[in-house]
Amino acid sequence: MNNAVTPSGIRLELRKLFLKSEPVRGYTLLSPTLLAMILGLAMPLVVLFTLSFWLQEYLDFIRTFSLANYVEFFQKPIYVKLLLKSIRISGMVTIATVLLAYPMAYFIAFRVKSNKLIWLILITVPFWTSYLLRVFAWKIMLGYNGVINSGLKSLGFLTEPLAFLLYNPTSVVITLAHAWAAFAILPIYVSLEKIDRSLLEAGRDLGENAWMTFLRVTLPLSLPGVIAASLLVFIPTVGDYVTPSLVGGPRGIMIGNIIQSMFGQSQNWPMGAAISVMLMFTVAAMIGLFLWGTHSYRKRVA
Amino acid sequence: MEHDAIISFQNVSKHFGKVKAVDHASFDIQRGEFFSLLGPSGCGKTTLLRMVAGFEMPSSGEIFLDGQPMSVSPPNRRPVNMVFQNYAIFPHLDVRGNIAFGMRKSGLSKGDLNKRIDEVLELIKLPGYGSRGADELSGGQRQRVALARALIKQPKVLLLDEPLGALDKKLREQMQIELRQLQQQLGITFLFVTHDQEEALTLSDRIAVMSEGQVLEIAAPSQLYESPSSRFVADFIGTMNFFEGTVTAITANNMTIATQVLGEVRTTCEESFPLGAEVWVAIRPEKFRPEFTSPARDIDSIEGRMGPSAYLGDRSHFYVHIANRDDPVLVALQNLEGSVHQLSRPDQPVWLRWSEDAVVVLAKD
């Protein structure tokens, strides 16, 4: 008993603990990532949270607790309006992306018999160029004298270029949906790939046609992938500011642009922090709602 | 047996690329029959079953289901249901949801449907399991749910694709009895695919033995076992000792065959062969009676030496070396007195006797 107090005894005890306890080994394995997460994620969040209760006075912070930023957030209609608009645009992006990604994922999972890897690699090809370049590419595509307009004009379909293609929410949706497609295809592909093919045959065998079998078997079983895809697209795009500022124009502005300007030209970091915190909570609440909704859908589909 | 075919295969062939999975299959399955497709893996039995279900289309020929040609019907429009090899229980639905899956268009009210499901759960001996999730079921229970899900549709034919393969031996034997009872109780035609010859013998009214895409023989289990029509069938169903021979004499109900190993073999075999025909003489291991003293007559018996033996619980296998034959002859004996295997002392002389009607004569191809 007493030999446990000596250094070698302690080492022995630690070793025993390490070998005996699954959680200890688990956390040890996790520790580098955990450390990085805490340093890179939790700490800035704490800073952001604290900052949101301060006030800005010229170049200095007033470091007394104040809810003034949050009051302003709800008093000036622009913030809530922009938040709702961002959610709407991001929601449209998510729906568009998942709708585009699902057939692609379905095709690779069910129709491609060999060389699936090549297809999966091809999906990542757009990522070989930078995000910025892809956004600019869409600007070139959709612009007033862009590829689509000049193409249609030279074919004689148009006399005047279409003005509604660029600098509006739709162009933001198009650009973001394209930029995030791969993030949606992969999780949906994985969940489709996992579906036992005999389940689809069972659906047909029990009297359902191909479409109903899809609705009653394939879709519910691929729902985890659809949920993952939706979250992977919705969460990053709702706070995006690059795409809206490049292709959105004045009408395509999103909440990310305001946050950026608060930390930039407007020099009001506490307000920017407060908007960020509000965005974070809203997104978290929406995800909670979404997960609850899909969960009850899965229960109901029976 | 009434001549009322529920399924009729007419010249059905199926090719996958250059592989002939099924080659000109033509036979009928009678209404209410327990019919098995038996053969080694890759013989085409599952392909044949999947063509009845509609998952594969014949390359040529036609399948008639209750008189209707099936080549234009998708799987969901066929009055058949399938129990899949891995059961294919929907993992996102509970037992009740699985069983109700095919009843969406049944027109039953919710209350009536629930009553039907309860009845079916009773039938498969899983009452009260309705709200269990698919992952909370054992292999045997999944199998029953798969059965219930198909039976509630009241199919004209129930298709079973090696449904007992994944179960352990005890459970498999129990399910065999239950399947047979269920089939007799419901009167539904069962089309059963298996590679397990014992299972096919236990369950079936008739068995079709398949090999390399061809149906070799269709017969009742006892006929298939006692008087198979080809060497492949004789070898595949149970075990068999084969001896080469030539027909030397034929009388009204007797035939004599000269063999190098067994000497003159007389048989009551009904198959007719011409005089001088080269044939296989086949005798089942359990049809040999070993004796340890020389018999009075040397006809219908052969002398040998005891080789290795194997104790199998209910019976023992002895290998007996016989002159002029490289492979030992297999003899099976019921362990009636508990310790038959003790009789086997290596190299002990033994006389194997058989009766005339135990001899099967098969054409040499």
Residue A112 is given by DSSP the state -
In B, minimum Cα distance to A224 occurs at B92
Q: Which of A119-123, A169-173, A294-298, B107-111 has the lowest mean pLDDT?
A: A294-298
**pLDDT of the residue at B60:** 95
Please judge whether A198 and B149 are an interchain contact, meaning their C-beta atoms are less than 8 angstroms apart.
no
User: Do B153 and B262 lie in a common domain?
Assistant: no
Q: What rounded mean pLDDT belongs to chain A?
A: 91
User: Do B265 and B216 lie in a common domain?
Assistant: no
Tokens, residue B122: 């009773």
User: Do B271 and B179 lie in a common domain?
Assistant: no
In A, minimum Cα distance to B81 occurs at A205
List chain B pLDDT tens, one digit each, 365 residues: 345 899 999 999 999 999 999 999 999 999 999 999 999 998 999 999 999 999 999 999 999 999 999 988 999 999 999 999 999 999 999 999 999 999 998 889 999 999 999 999 999 999 999 999 998 999 899 999 999 999 999 999 999 999 998 888 899 999 999 999 999 999 999 999 999 999 999 999 999 999 999 999 999 999 999 989 999 999 999 899 999 999 998 887 788 999 988 888 888 867 678 888 899 999 999 999 888 888 777 678 898 998 888 888 888 888 999 988 889 999 998 887 755 655 667 788 888 999 888 899 998 87
B-chain CB neighbours of A298 within 8 Å are: 92
Q: What is the 3-state secondary structure (H, E, C) of chain B?
A: CCCCEEEEEEEEEEEECCEEEEEEEEEEEECCCEEEEECCCCCCHHHHHHHHHCCCCCCEEEEEECCEECCCCCHHHCCEEEECCCCCCCCCCEHHHHHHHHHCCCCCCHHHHHHHHHHHHHHCCCCCCCCCEHHHCCHHHHHHHHHHHHHCCCCCEEEEECCCCCCCHHHHHHHHHHHHHHHHHHCCEEEEEECCHHHHHHHCCEEEEEECCEEEEEECHHHHHHCCCCHHHHHHCCCCEEEEEEEEEECCCCEEEEECCCEEEEECCCCCCCCCCEEEEEECHHHCEEECCCCCCCCCEEEEEEEEEEECCCEEEEEEEECCCCCCEEEEEECCCCCHHHHCCCCCEEEEECCHHHCEEEECC
10 Å CB burial of residue A133 (0-12, 13-18, 19+) is: exposed
Please judge whether A302 and B97 are an interchain contact, meaning their C-beta atoms are less than 8 angstroms apart.
yes
- All domains in chain A, ordered by first residue: 1-52 (no CATH), 68-301 (1.10.3720.10)
CATH number at residue B252: 2.40.50.100
Region of B101 (left: φ > 0; alpha: ψ -120 to 50; beta: rest) is: alpha
Mutate to test the interface with B, among A205, A222, A296 (most CBs of B within 10 A): A205
pLDDT digits (tens, 9 = 90+) for A94-113: 999 999 999 999 999 999 98
**pLDDT of the residue at A58:** 82
Phi, psi of B135 (to 5 degrees): -85, 0
Those residues of chain B whose CB sits closer than 8 Å to some CB in chain A are: 53-55, 74-76, 80-82, 84-86, 88, 90-94, 96-97, 100-102, 104-105, 149-150, 153
User: Do B150 and B264 lie in a common domain?
Assistant: no
User: Do B96 and B214 lie in a common domain?
Assistant: yes
User: Do B183 and B322 lie in a common domain?
Assistant: no
Please judge whether B85 and A302 are an interchain contact, meaning their C-beta atoms are less than 8 angstroms apart.
no
Please judge whether B86 and A196 are an interchain contact, meaning their C-beta atoms are less than 8 angstroms apart.
yes
**pLDDT of the residue at B143:** 93
Domain count, chain B: 2
User: Do B215 and B243 lie in a common domain?
Assistant: no
Examine the fold and report which residue of B218, B235, B252 is the final residue of a domain before the chain moves on.
B235
Examine the fold and report which residue of B235, B254, B273 is the final residue of a domain before the chain moves on.
B235
- Rounded to a whole number of angstroms, the distance from the CA of A221 to the nearest CA of chain B is 7
pLDDT digits (tens, 9 = 90+) for B192-235: 999 999 999 999 999 999 999 999 999 999 999 998 999 999 99
State percent of chain A over pLDDT 70: 97
User: Do B245 and B134 lie in a common domain?
Assistant: no
Tokens, residue B129: 């399991």
Domain that holds residue B102: 5-235
User: Do B228 and B256 lie in a common domain?
Assistant: no
**pLDDT of the residue at A166:** 87
User: Do B213 and B128 lie in a common domain?
Assistant: yes
User: Do B193 and B273 lie in a common domain?
Assistant: no
Q: Which residue has the higher pLDDT, A2 or B266?
A: B266
- Cα–Cα separations (whole angstroms), residue B241 to A227, B5, B279, B327, B332: 63, 37, 13, 10, 11
Examine the fold and report which residue of B235, B255, B272 is the final residue of a domain before the chain moves on.
B235
CATH number at residue B85: 3.40.50.300
- pLDDT of A284 over the 90 cut: yes
